[in-house]
Every structure is written in structure tokens, then in C-alpha cells.
Amino acid sequence: MTRKDYVLIAEALKNARPDPHGTTISRHRYDGWHVSACALADALANDNPRFDRERFLKACGAESSGCGATGPNGYACTHHENGQHVARGTESGSFAEAWNISEGR
């Protein structure tokens, strides 16, 4: 794939981006959209080692690589791995928890 392809995909995702600051339903739609955008970014990064995942997500309109969902211990999602929310603690990026995205917020 070329840079032109990545730009085209990012623009399409940005145009389909739900409002993360609207109603609860809108936030759930954004969460689903965000998980899909992150999964696509992961696939593109696996295909091309020079692919800049964070730059792509920013171009898509993603607020960050994590969706901000709050887990059982109160930590916010910082990124997604294998269909799970992952939260990192504040101490030196220590692992806090991972929980399944399908379990909801």
C-alpha cells in the first residue's frame, strides 16, 4: 500500500467518526468505531513496519490510541490489544489491567 492509500482510508474513517462527546448512545458508537480504527491501524502496522500507527489514528480523528473506557479498578483504557481494553498505571507505565471490550464499559 502507498501513502495515498493510507490517507484515503484515514479520511473515510474520519468521515464515519461518531461524536464521542454526545449522548451515551453516541459514545458507545464512538467506542465501536475506535476499536475498529485501532484494529485496522494494527493490521496496517503489521503489514508495513514503517507505518506510523499514532499518526494514522490522529488523521482518522481518534482522540488517542485508547478509547478512555473505565475498567473495574478505575483506570482508563490507554490502548487496545487483541480485542481487549488495556489500562496502564501511572507509575512508570506499569500494567494495571486488561478487560474484554465485549464486556462493555
- One-character DSSP codes across 37-102: HHHHHHHHHHH-TT--HHHHHHHHT-SSSS---B-TTSPBP-EEETTEEEEE-SSTT-EEEEEEGG
| Global pTM value | 0.64
**Residue pLDDT, tens place only, 51-82:** 988 899 889 998 665 666 666 566 666 666 66
Q: Name the band, by pLDDT with cuts 50, 70 and 90, for residue 88.
A: low
Q: Name the band, by pLDDT with cuts 50, 70 and 90, for residue 30.
A: confident
| Mean pLDDT value of segment 1-27 | 89
